[in-house]
Amino acid sequence: MPRPTVRVQAAAAGARRTFPAAKALAFREQAHLLTHNDLVLFLRPGDFAAHEWRTIRQQIAAVPPPPASSEGSIPTTAEGNQLRLTYLRPGLVPAIVRTLQQQRTQGTAVPDTSLLADASHSSGPLAALTAPTLHPPTLLRVLTLLQTFSRTPPPNAPPPPPPVKGKDAPPIVVERLKLLSSLLDQTTAADPDQTTKIANLPPIEVLQAQIVGLLSAPGARITGVVSARASELARTLEGFKLGLEEAAAPSSSESPSA
């Protein structure tokens, strides 16, 4: 008996492509990850044993979640704001990219998939690490965790060759979980270098406070100048008063001559 199918728009030029129900569900879930999270990291996982994959998931889950955005949004629980690591189906990525690009040409606000459309994202296994809020300090913790885990050799990896006397051994760089690109704030595509720069920024709240400080600095400076001038005027008047008192003191203290 044939499985029920769901029609999903997944091709350019308005064409329709029919997916089986399970594949259509995976298509919608993966498209939802890209369009409903302010932080999406696209990762190229290497060969992992099942226990290693569980370990990286546990380490990611242990990272404190980013604070929920308070700008006109419904408050979310900490559990709903947790980081999530999802293994993507590579065969669905091109279809998702085509759908989003078509919606973009129609004027719909969708993420920039220019980097995701590159062959590096569809020629092998792909994973996505997502968070509903973009919080640079949390992103920096995640990137540090991924870098540490990526450079950890597999449990059954052969030992490195012994160094040759008189020659420096070339550094062995192991990238078992490579960062390919990211989607930030549901709109902007960023390469690994740009993603690292974003991670080193202060939190949005700090940036907002700095902007408010810069905007309020001229007013505070004017207030300080006015206060200083008022203090100078008060000291000047006090000096005039003391001078008048000193000038009047001899005449008032003179006694009548005998």
Residue 43 CB burial class (10 angstroms; 0-12, 13-18, ≥19): buried
The dihedrals phi and psi of 194, each to the nearest 5 degrees, come to: -65, -35
Q: Does 231 or 194 have the greater pLDDT score?
A: 194
Q: Does 75 or 175 have the greater pLDDT score?
A: 175
Residue among 130, 112, 121, 129 nearest 93 (CA): 121
Residue among 194, 196, 199, 146 nearest 174 (CA): 146
Report the alpha-carbon angle 130-131-132, nearest 5: 125
**Whole-model pTM above 0.85?**
no
Encoded amino acid at 179, one letter: L
Residue 17: in which H helix or E strand, if any?
strand 17-20
Helix (H, G, I), strand (E, B) or coil at 156: coil
d(CA 171, CA 191): 24
Residue among 131, 139, 133 nearest 69 (CA): 133
d(CA 182, CA 258): 103
Q: What confidence tens digit (pLDDT) does each residue in 9-66 have? A: 444 444 456 667 888 888 888 889 888 899 999 999 887 788 888 888 899 988 887 7
Helix (H, G, I), strand (E, B) or coil at 36: coil
Q: Does 81 or 41 have the greater pLDDT score?
A: 41
CATH class assigned to 5-201: alpha beta
Mean pLDDT score of the chain, rounded to an integer?
Answer: 75
**Domain segments of the chain: what residues?**
5-201, 202-251
Cβ neighbours of residue 84 under 8 Å, at least 6 residues apart? 60, 129, 130, 131
Q: What confidence tens digit (pLDDT) does each residue in 162-192 have? A: 777 766 665 555 678 899 999 998 888 899 9
Residue among 119, 112, 111 nearest 94 (CA): 119
